Structure 1
Amino acid sequence: MNVQCQTVTTVVPYRTLDYPNGAYLKDLDNEFPFWLGTWEGTADNKKYTFTFVLFQKHLRTVPSGRYEFKDKVVGKLKVTDLATNQVIYDESSFANFDDYIIKGNVIYGREFYFGFYDKENHCNNSADFTLVRYDNNPNQILYKNFSYGEYFTLDGPCPYNDQLDIPMFLPKVDLMLTRQ
């Protein structure tokens, strides 16, 4: 006796709003490749190195039992103090999706909106920022609109009294990032 089972996943464009359970939201319009790779910029005597990678067909489930596969851009961050040449923050060694602290949320026109979700040692702090693409220079993007996200600690007490006391390593000022 020989039994074979084949599941067929419905593939839909990434921006599709209405799709069946289990669908694959794929970057069919090739919006993501531009953003991928390593980008660097300096501000406040610090060098910020962002590395963005693509996870294809990442499984996302919700408590209702609904699930989808989705192409997702995620990022890593490394911060170097230029005065001492010391690395003061480094999340650049990640390889597993769940370890990444920067998640691409949505592309709207020339802007890509990101969320930053820090680890437990920084009280699960969060922030948002935007990257802006310029057609006249494909090797530069503008980092802008840093803002703190909602603050609540999920895993026990936080040693900080205020969200602004928690170390935040994202730049809080606008800066130009250059493709490396």
Structure 2
Amino acid sequence: MKRFITYLGIFVVFSCKAQQTIYPLLTDTSNLPNNSYVKDLDNEYDSFVGTWKSNLNDKIITLKITKIIQKPLQKLDVSYYSDVLIVQYSIQDNNGNLIENNISSNLNDYKIISTLYSKKAHVVKLYYQGGQCQVGWGGINLKMIDSTHLKWNYQPESTVITNKNCSDYPAGGIKINLPYEPADIVFTKQ
């Protein structure tokens, strides 16, 4: 009887694993079934992975882009897994003084994550959750130019924030440090 229960348990585990349906990276995630896996089957994200830098308006912007395999995600009431890009960044002035930094070894410490990929345009669409009090939340497009250059285009959404709806709102206001002007900022792979 113990042997039967052991075999039954193993069968159930493998049956559940077998039910995970794998979808390609280009899949629209709005109608995925639970426990699906959106996989980077053709390693499209790999060319974006690495450290990228740009000098802009007396600032040095560094992007650290990491590919996470099978990250658990939730969209409305559906739980699924997806290969994603996580973007961490730092911004320094030309003297090396740190203006903003969220680069860490903890890959759960990110504010920017990929949401869509366009194979034809070789563009990754990302979501930025914003800084303090979610100021600056919006969309970012990364377009691969060649193996060592990419274009960054960030469109922050306007948000009205006051100390009434953001308890730690600073008296001087909140500044968006991520570059959003000009459009199509070029980053170079390091």
Fold similarity call, TM over 0.5: yes
Question: Using the alignment, how far apart are the partners of 1:92 and 1:74 within structure 2?
Answer: 11
Contact kept in structure 2, 1:102 and 1:117, CA below 8 Å: yes
Structure with bigger helix share is 2
Describe the shift of the 1:156–1:176 C-alpha distance in structure 2 as closer, same or farther (beyond 3 A).
Answer: closer
CA shift for structure 1 position 86? 0.8
Identify the match of residue 107 of structure 1 among 112, 117, 138: 117
Question: Using the alignment, how far apart are the partners of 1:150 and 1:21 within structure 2?
Answer: 33
How big is the alpha-carbon RMSD for the aligned residues of Structure 1 and Structure 2? 2.4
Identify the match of residue 101 of structure 2 among 90, 111, 114: 90
CA shift for structure 1 position 25? 0.7
Tell me which residue corresponds to 1:176.
186
1:36 equivalent to 2:46? Answer no
Unaligned runs of 5+ in 2: none
Counterpart amino acid of 1:56?
Answer: I
CA shift for structure 1 position 89? 0.9
Question: Using the alignment, how far apart are the partners of 2:160 and 2:114 within structure 1?
Answer: 21
Tell me which residue corresponds to 1:138.
147
Identify the match of residue 13 of structure 1 among 17, 24, 27: 24
* Percent identity of paired positions between Structure 1 and Structure 2: 18
Counterpart amino acid of 2:180?
Answer: K
Tell me which residue corresponds to 1:69.
81
TM-score where L is the length of structure 2: 0.78
Question: Using the alignment, how far apart are the partners of 2:167 and 2:60 within structure 1?
Answer: 32
- Secondary structure in 1 aligned to 2:134? coil
Bigger radius of gyration among the two: 2
The C-alpha deviation readout for 1:11-51, integer Å capped at 9, x for no partner, is: 12122235432111101122100111110001000000001
Aligned residues: 170
CA shift for structure 1 position 150? 5.1
CA shift for structure 1 position 158? 5.4
Question: Using the alignment, how far apart are the partners of 1:161 and 1:151 within structure 2?
Answer: 17
1:24 equivalent to 2:37? Answer yes
